[in-house]
Amino acid sequence: MAKTFTDEDAALLDELGIEEEAKPSGGRTAREERIIAGFEDIQRFVEKHGRLPQHGEDRDIFERLYAVRLDRLREQPDCRAILEPFDTKGLLGMAGQAAIGPNPEELDDDALLAALDTDADAPAITDLRHVRSVTDKREAEEIANREKCKDFEKFRPLFEKMQRELKDGVRTSQQFRKDAGFLKADIAQGNFFILGGQTAYVAEVGEPIKAPNGESDARLRVIYSNGTESNLLLRSLQRALYKDEAGRRISEPTAGPLFGDDLDEDDQASGTIYVLRSKSDHPLVAGNRELVHKIGVTSGSVEKRIAGASQQPTFLLADVEVVATYQLFNISRAKLENLIHRIFGPARLEIEIMDRLGRPIVPREWFLVPLFVIDQAVQCIKDGTITKYRYDPQSASLVDAAAAAGNL
């Protein structure tokens, strides 16, 4: 006997952000409900595109799935009987199949069940597969909403140029991961990523909007190397990249050996930019630990630089952890450090601590800045565009310096 959800169960699911799927109505079986839901997907496709779904390798995977599903539904008398009251467009009675494609009779049972989404051995309602989170549903809808990019020829040269730069070592691909515990990854217009085996290009970033959890989000226009596009949300793209074990970020083109991995014979090492996170229990630091970073430059090893940190006021008299380093060559360390501190000056941490003699000390190298923004600033220093930007503490991002000055 199927289990029903009590008011207490429903409240718990609501707290978890999970929706209980609607119970079958009208005395229908679970199989009948799935057949109807699958047919409604096909109807929505026809309403959106004004045509039947087609077979073919050049078609979107979802369109091909709908085409196979419609062929099979037409051939099964029991399915036709279930769907006739819902077939307002006469899709079941149209002559011929959706298009020339695989013969459903040649597909094995597993393939047919996958196409029809009618698992005869569906588990009981107590199985969590019967409930889906709001986030999962939204992400599935956004992935399904990919459509053909009508102006793809405008973007094709960008993909080709990026591929050449990868081959020549001008760009590199890096695993997309949550940077040292910071949960947001930087996604900006002009970025390339690898997602689901396809290269994705962020062509447009819309105006900031408020997500249901109160955080900032934005609608993107993302172009894929297979000639499709989607308008998914920035946070949805982040989540998809995190979940994809093969998800990669493609770097911006390098501009010389400043932060390169390889040195030419004439290159002279200058030092290392280091980013530290404090383990201090000071309330201001502890309450913003993911954002409070010390940014410095050293000519020696970072390990030696932070040795005895708990005894030095510049390190807030506490141990630290290294969260990022960048090697640099042929550049003045002092000038580079001054440049970095000037960029993030508006976010300098205002904190006063007492040294061991009871004297007040105000460290000057600590900033309230997300790690991914620091990384973005280093990339801008590397490609020579850093003078075009300044840091905006309100949006926690680098903004166009000229535009920001015009708004003052």
Could you tell me if 356 and 240 lie in one domain? no
* CA separation for the pair 311, 308 (Å, rounded): 6
Q: Give kind and range of the element (H or E) at residue 49.
A: helix 30-49
Does some domain include residue 124? yes
Q: Which pLDDT band, with edges at 50, 70 and 90, does 94 fall under?
A: low
Q: What is the pLDDT of residue 369?
A: 92
Same domain, 402 and 299: yes
Same domain, 140 and 169: no
Q: 261 in a domain, yes or no?
A: no
* Across 36-50, 115-129, 138-152, least confident range: 115-129
Instruction: Check whether residue 294 and residue 393 sit in a common domain.
Output: yes
- Residue 366 is predicted with a pLDDT of 92
Structural domain includes residue 331: yes
* Residue 243: its H or E element: helix 234-243
Q: What is the pLDDT of residues 20-63, one digit of tens each?
A: 444 444 567 878 888 888 888 888 888 888 889 888 877 777 88
Q: Which of 183, 215, 250 is the last residue of a domain?
A: 250
| pLDDT of the residue at 14 | 53
Number of structural domains in the chain = 3
Structure token pair of residue 200 = 């994705």
**Integer Cα distance of 379 and 11 in angstroms:** 47
* 337 and 222 within one domain: no
Let me know: does 131 contact 20? Beta carbons within 8 Å. Answer: yes
Amino acid in position 65: L
Spatial neighbors of 334 by CB under 8 A, at least 6 apart, are 297
Confidence check: pLDDT of 251 > 70:
yes
- Residues 116, 165, single domain; the answer is no
Boundary-marking domain end, from 96, 112, 144: 144
Q: Which of 40-49, 148-157, 336-345 has the highest mean pLDDT?
A: 148-157
Asked if the structure places residue 375 within a domain, the reply is yes
Among 54-63, 138-147, 152-161, name the one with the lowest average pLDDT: 138-147
Do 129 and 160 fall within a single domain? Answer: no
Residue 2 inside a domain? The answer is no
Q: Which string of DSSP letters, residue by residue, matches 370-406?
A: -HHHHHHHHHHHHHT-GGGEEEETTTTEEEEHHHHHH
Question: Which residue, 110, 144, 178, sits at the end of a domain?
Answer: 144
Return the H-helix or E-strand segment holding 209: strand 198-210
**Would you say residue 262 lies in a domain?**
no
* Alpha carbons 344 and 49: distance in angstroms, whole number: 49
Q: Which amino acid is at 147?
A: E
Pair 132, 217 in one domain: no
pLDDT of residue 26: 54
Do 121 and 34 share a structural domain? yes
Q: pLDDT at position 36, please?
A: 87
Q: Are residues 305 and 393 in the same domain?
A: yes
Task: State the residue range of the domain holding 317.
Answer: 269-406
